[in-house]
Amino acid sequence: MSVITCIEDLRVLAEKRVPRMFYDYADAGSWTESTYRANEADFQGIKFRQRVAVNMDNRSTATTMLGERVAMPVAIAPTGLTGMQHADGEMLAARAAKQFGIPFTLSTMSICSIEDVSEATGGHPFWFQLYVMKDKDFMRNLIDRAKAANCSALVVTLDLQVLGQRHKDLKNGLSTPPKPTIANLINLATKPRWCLGMLGTSRRTFRNIVGHAKSVSDMSSLASWTAEQFDPALSWADIEEIKKLWGGKIILKGIMDKEDARLAVESGADAIVVSNHGGRQLDGAPSSITALPAIVDAVGNDIEVHMDGGIRSGQDVLKAWALGARSAWIGRAFLYGLGAMGEAGVTKALKIIHNELDVSMAFCGHTDINKVDRGILLPGTYPVA
């Protein structure tokens, strides 16, 4: 592909270059995938009010998230197995985010470890996402490691107490590294760029877990440990305990209901992420963008509201901001860039999104993102509380 102009171009290239099981892992939802599709589709019905004869000079998309200055209201979301989209993927994406001036969030289920990412970014602050595990000693150790790595916020994901069924992962026999089956070997033979990258790194398993969790020393023990570790008994009391252990800024991810949003405020969290896990958990849940206004209305200024799910352009970021989200988190959009071209692909994805955000904001008659509100949207085309 000679000219890349949009996130869809990166997706097409990633599909060609990333092994099927890992591409499908990123680009799939649970069950019928209705929520996964709605996340993206529901943005399309929201329309802008175009304004003219407005001075468009000196535009700025800069703002703050949790008190941190950012180049635009976008964060890289935590995504598992990022290092299987491209060798050393988390390290590359974190470097790209640092250079661009937005937060990077590392998943508990990453291939590169907390320490790997810290080293790759020269100790630059990043965010760390925590799953609540039954092994509390391991969880406390993760928190201590994140503190040592200078992480500036802890993101606690609330919507993975049980795992949604993702048909493509089951059919592909998802594993890391890939099992040497005939089907996998045939598919890998068509991905020489990916294979060469993986041969050049030692990071091919869950390095936040192997060697840190009790009795986990190899892939077989890791698989059984992971299957039984996500804690279905997670409660708001656990959040309060985690906040005490962390002692810093905490973000709660997976809020889709205004009652839960109010409980998040009461828990002392600093921010929430309106998120349905990219349509990978409860199929049949509403899209994140349609859930956003009611949640923003319910919490007012009591907590910073972010969102993820379906962000494929800077226009989507602008629509989310107009409806009250102070940040739009991108998962698949940066993964497509990573799978397509490594670090340069992540940077390309961020540049595409920033340009679309900047130009669309100008067409709506604004030069400062912080002054944009829902007045840029055409009444009757966007969800309301």
pLDDT at res. 221? 67
- State yes or no: pLDDT of 273 exceeds 60: yes
- State yes or no: pLDDT of 3 exceeds 80: yes
The reply to whether 170 falls in a domain is yes
Please tell me the pTM assigned to this model: 0.96
Per-residue pLDDT tens for 164-205? 899 998 899 888 888 889 999 999 999 999 999 999 999 999
314 — pLDDT class (breaks 50, 70, 90): very high
- State yes or no: pLDDT of 216 exceeds 80: no
Among residues 277, 306, 354, 366, which one is catalytic?
277
Q: Which residues are annotated as a binding site for FMN?
A: 78-80, 107, 129, 157, 253, 275, 308-312, 331-332
- State yes or no: pLDDT of 150 exceeds 60: yes
- State yes or no: pLDDT of 231 exceeds 90: no
The reply to whether 384 falls in a domain is no
pLDDT at res. 1? 53
277 noted as active-site residue: yes
Q: Is the dihedral of CA 81, 109, 71, 276 positive or negative?
A: positive
Q: Which residues are annotated as a binding site?
A: 25, 78-80, 107, 129, 131, 157, 166, 253, 275, 277, 280, 308-312, 331-332
220 — pLDDT class (breaks 50, 70, 90): low
What CA–CA distance (Å, rounded) separates 15 from 18?
Answer: 6
Q: How far is CA 37 from the centre of its chain?
A: 17
**pLDDT (mean) for 348-361:** 98
Q: Identify whether the C-beta of residue 80 lies closer than 8 Å to the C-beta of residue 109.
A: yes
274 — pLDDT class (breaks 50, 70, 90): very high
What CA–CA distance (Å, rounded) separates 27 from 37?
Answer: 11
Phi then psi for residue 307, to 5 deg, are -150, 160
The reply to whether 2 falls in a domain is no
pLDDT at res. 168? 92
pLDDT at res. 26? 96
Per-residue pLDDT tens for 30-51? 999 999 999 999 999 999 999 9
What CA–CA distance (Å, rounded) separates 353 from 351?
Answer: 5
- State yes or no: pLDDT of 219 exceeds 60: no
pLDDT at res. 344? 98
**pLDDT (mean) for 252-268:** 97
Burial class (CB in 10 A: 0-12, 13-18, 19+), 186: exposed
pLDDT at res. 222? 67
- State yes or no: pLDDT of 226 exceeds 90: no
pLDDT at res. 176? 82
**pLDDT (mean) for 297-324:** 98
Q: Is the dihedral of CA 72, 90, 245, 266 positive or negative?
A: positive
Average pLDDT, the chain: 95
The fraction of the chain above a pLDDT of 70, given in percent, is 98
The fraction of the chain above a pLDDT of 90, given in percent, is 88
Residues spanned by the domain of 350: 7-376
- State yes or no: pLDDT of 223 exceeds 70: no
Q: How far is CA 309 from the centre of its chain?
A: 8
CATH number for the domain harbouring residue 166: 3.20.20.70
The reply to whether 227 falls in a domain is yes
**pLDDT (mean) for 146-174:** 93
pLDDT at res. 218? 61
The reply to whether 381 falls in a domain is no
Among the residue ranges 76-90, 208-222, 342-356, the one predicted with the least confidence is: 208-222
Reduced to 3 states (helix: H, G, I; strand: E, B; else coil), residue 377 is strand
Beta strands in 203-309 (DSSP E): 249-255, 271-274, 304-308
**pLDDT (mean) for 340-359:** 98
Q: Identify whether the C-beta of residue 105 lies closer than 8 Å to the C-beta of residue 77.
A: yes
Count of domains for the chain: 1
pLDDT at res. 237? 93
Q: Which residues are annotated as a binding site for glyoxylate?
A: 25, 131, 166, 277, 280
